[in-house]
Amino acid sequence: MVRVRFAPSPTGDMHIGGLRTAIFDWLFAKANNGKFILRIEDTDRARYDKESEITIIESLKWLGLQWDEGPDIGGPFEPYRQSERKNIYKTEVQKLINNNSAYYDGATPEELQSLREEQVRNKIPPRYDGRGEITEKEALARKQVGKQVVIRFRVPKEQIEFFDEIRGKVNFDHKEIDDFIILKSDEMPTYHFAHVIDDHKMKISHVIRGEEWISSTPRHVLLHKALGYELPKYVHVPLILGKDKSKLSKRHGAESALSYKDKGYLPEALLNFLALLGWSPGDNTEIMSIKEIIKKFSVERILDHAAVFDPEKLEWMNASYIRNMDSTKLNEIIFKQVSKPIENQGLGINDKTQIEKLTPLIRERLKNIKDASYLLNYFFYDNLEINSDQLLPKNTSKENIIIGLQKSTELLQGIENLEPEILEGKFRALADNLGLKAGQLFFPIRIALTGRKESPPLFHTMEALGKEKSIERIDKAIKIIERM
Ligand code: GLU
């Protein structure tokens, strides 16, 4: 039975790397009819942040990565929050103490400091030498008088080897690892210790996580052995880098999961994009439905080199999802966006039928849903910002344009049905009659109607605006030109 877990530490934003790991875990579970488990690793109480936990859960839900077991829904191996599993860790730590694989340590910060200085002086690597080891009795006595005592794992002097499903055999020299803390003075386990126990107790079959953990894995392997646990399969997924090949950060355009939501990205587009960061379906297909991705997903196709985060590609993918989206769904999403109040960056428009008519006009231009407010703004509001220079195209005179625009309003007056095709025919003929090139007439009309150089097709825009508003706006533009 495949059982995988996503085990975030709620200490900050849910960033792209974490989200990608969650996606791989989820995909692997889905692809193998397995279970996807959410475990909250909150033993670092100093860095714990409740908000962060809420954000993580919201991000996963937004992407549709539903878990089968987790802190909110429980499951056969609950609790799924490490801070609630203290007793389990205590029992396991006692086992290690009993078989001499771990020891109490009462070294003071001063002692540790002086050890470090000594090592720096002698130019030897900074490794803990076990100088603070004390007996259980001594440890209890010290704790009673408020002194700090930790428990350390006694690293055996042996070569460490494990198998990573992506990288193959990995060897480690025990000399690179010193006796590390497994239970802190606040009696909370460290990450290294707690997650090993949980992975075992929760019957995790595959540990799928970021490559940054591979250097910690030797510790985990040793702990598994000392506790008599069988090793899970390790799958360390490649790092995600920025375009300049440095560690991914905000300056590469990477944002937290939920800020993509706020910006109007579609969860299916983000999921598709992230699935391709470190995995490939084996051909050049890029746009894939979630079903297809699940069908094609396998560990063999996870790449063994770093992936590069390209925000433009994400934008392109998002636009492509929007273009191909089912109309009813798109109308719904756009309506949700533009019906928000203006200060919330919507348009404060609550007329759904009107929005439905306009959606086809902007579908092709939408890079994200939030843009809908900007792209639809001038259909509802008259306060256009007109750059007067743009009203005058090259190679013709101010007078000609004024005449052209005046004739346009007259033409419009006389048309009953504002159908784009009919409009286009009539306006082309008008330009011709006036000795203007089509563009010389259409361009100032576009500016007059929208205030922008780019807009949906002109005559569709005219149709959507309606006769009265179109004439009104063209008249306004004439006045602006006359004043120039
Ligand atoms: N809690 C660890 C993290 O924050 C989990 C690492 C792992 O998956 O083992 O990433």
Q: How far is the CA of 21 from the centre of ligand 1 (A)?
A: 10
Residues with CB under 6 A from ligand 1: 7-9, 41, 191, 195, 209, 213
Give 410: exposed, middle or buried? Use CB within 10 Å, 0-12, 13-18, 19+: exposed
Is residue 190 pLDDT above 90, yes or no? Answer: yes
Q: How far is the CA of 173 from the centre of ligand 1 (A)?
A: 23
Is residue 100 pLDDT above 90, yes or no? Answer: yes
Is residue 2 pLDDT above 90, yes or no? Answer: yes
Q: CA 76 from chain center: how many Å?
A: 30
Which structure tokens are listed for 151? 């428990």
User: What is the best residue among 60, 209, 223 to mutate for testing ligand 1's pocket, by most ligand atoms within 8 Å of CB?
Assistant: 209
Q: How far is the CA of 304 from the centre of ligand 1 (A)?
A: 20
Cβ–Cβ < 8 Å for 445, 458? yes
pLDDT band at 311; cut points 50, 70, 90: very high
Give 175: exposed, middle or buried? Use CB within 10 Å, 0-12, 13-18, 19+: exposed
User: What is the best residue among 4, 6, 9 to mutate for testing ligand 1's pocket, by most ligand atoms within 8 Å of CB?
Assistant: 9
Q: How far is the CA of 298 from the centre of ligand 1 (A)?
A: 21
**For range 280-289, the mean pLDDT:** 93
3-state secondary structure of 330: helix
Identify the H or E element spanning 192.
helix 191-201
**For range 2-19, the mean pLDDT:** 94
At 25-41, the pLDDT tens digits run 999 999 999 999 999 99
Identify the H or E element spanning 5.
strand 3-6
Which structure tokens are listed for 33? 């009819």
Report which of 236, 325, 317, 237 is spatially closest to residue 272, judged by C-alpha positions.
317
Q: How far is the CA of 224 from the centre of ligand 1 (A)?
A: 16
Residue whose CA lies nearest to ligand 1 atom number 8: 209
Is residue 415 pLDDT above 90, yes or no? Answer: yes
Is residue 48 pLDDT above 90, yes or no? Answer: yes
- Residues assigned a catalytic role: 250
Residue whose CA lies nearest to ligand 1 atom number 5: 7
pLDDT band at 149; cut points 50, 70, 90: very high
pTM of the model: 0.90
Q: Return the pLDDT at 328.
A: 95
**Average pLDDT, rounded, for the chain:** 95
pLDDT band at 254; cut points 50, 70, 90: confident
**For range 59-79, the mean pLDDT:** 97
Q: Give the Cα separation of 409 and 441 in Å (integer).
A: 12
pLDDT band at 308; cut points 50, 70, 90: very high
Q: Return the pLDDT at 484.
A: 87
Q: Return the pLDDT at 174.
A: 85
φ and ψ at 174, to 5 degrees? -60, -25
Contacts of residue 15, defined as CB under 8 A and 6 or more positions apart, other chains included, come to 248, 254, 256, 257
pLDDT band at 60; cut points 50, 70, 90: very high
Residue whose CA lies nearest to ligand 1 atom number 10: 8
Q: How far is the CA of 8 from the centre of ligand 1 (A)?
A: 5
Is residue 395 pLDDT above 90, yes or no? Answer: no
As a 3-state breakdown, the chain gives helix, strand, coil percent values, each rounded to 5, of 50, 10, 35
pLDDT band at 249; cut points 50, 70, 90: confident
Q: Return the pLDDT at 13.
A: 86
Beta bridge pairs of residue 150: 105
